[in-house]
Amino acid sequence: MNDRTETDGRRARGDASRSVILERATDLASVDGLDGLTIGRLATAAGSSKSSIATLFRSKEGLQLATVAVAREIFTERIIEPARAEPRGARRLAALLGNALAYSRDRVFSGGCFFAATAADVDSKPGPVSDAVRAALAEWYRYLELQVEAAIAGGELRAESASALAFELVSLTEHANARSLLFGSVAPYEVAGRALRDRLRTAGADPEALELLRR
């Protein structure tokens, strides 16, 4: 084995270890919040040493930033990427909303939506971690709003304000997440799904597009 092969092997093992640890970190943060995500807490939960985690992330802030980045990738993979199979506008909007409900309902993270859980930690605090959470949520809200704008421009939906309609829709998904966690029930997702379909139907959405919200 030459030096390069040995180095590559160590790097691959390090990447795999980092991936496993971050998967555990995202789940912990969804329950305990980012403030509760410490190197010591993660070491205990992941069955690793504090020194090995400290070597990977250097600091608590480094760990938190890496955790937010991975959670953002998972959010995109579970909600946004599948919806891109649908055309821009009402169909993609319905798919996004249905995926958002499923992502929370299926407990991709133990604490429901990662960003709903961590936003409360950072909403009034400055710093890189707060900025990372805000950026992820701002990107999601804007992407949803763009689909509403496209649907209105294409005559698929009627609304005086795309931003107001997008706000209503995302609020229903977020409240379903919060109420489900509070009461330990999946019923809020069913209620939210009906409310989303009713709101989009009132706005003129095609019934076929609304079926994407039943997934």
pTM recorded for the entire structure: 0.88
State the DSSP string of 118-162. HHHHHTT--SHHHHHHHHHHHHHHHHHHHHHHHHHHTTS---S-H
- Name the burial class of residue 63, with classes exposed (0-12), middle (13-18) and buried (19+) by CB atoms within 10 angstroms of its CB: buried
* pLDDT of residue 43 exceeding 70: yes
- Give CA–CA dist 31/14, Å, rounded: 26
Domain definitions of the chain by residue range:
3-214
**Residue 6: per-residue pLDDT:** 42
pLDDT value of residue 8 = 42
Q: How confident is the model at residue 158 (pLDDT cuts 50, 70, 90)?
A: very high
Which CATH superfamily hosts domain 3-214?
Tetracycline Repressor, domain 2 (1.10.357.10)
pLDDT, residue 186, reads: 97
Query: In whole angstroms, what is the distance from residue 201 CA to residue 88 CA?
Result: 17
12 pLDDT band, cuts 50/70/90, is very low
Provide the residue type at 127 as one letter: G
Grouping H, G, I as helix, E, B as strand and the rest as coil, residue 21 is helix
Q: Check pLDDT > 90 for residue 4.
A: no
When pLDDT is cut at 50, 70 and 90, the band that residue 215 belongs to is: low
Question: Would you state the pLDDT for residue 136?
Answer: 97
Q: Token pair for residue 152?
A: 């209105």
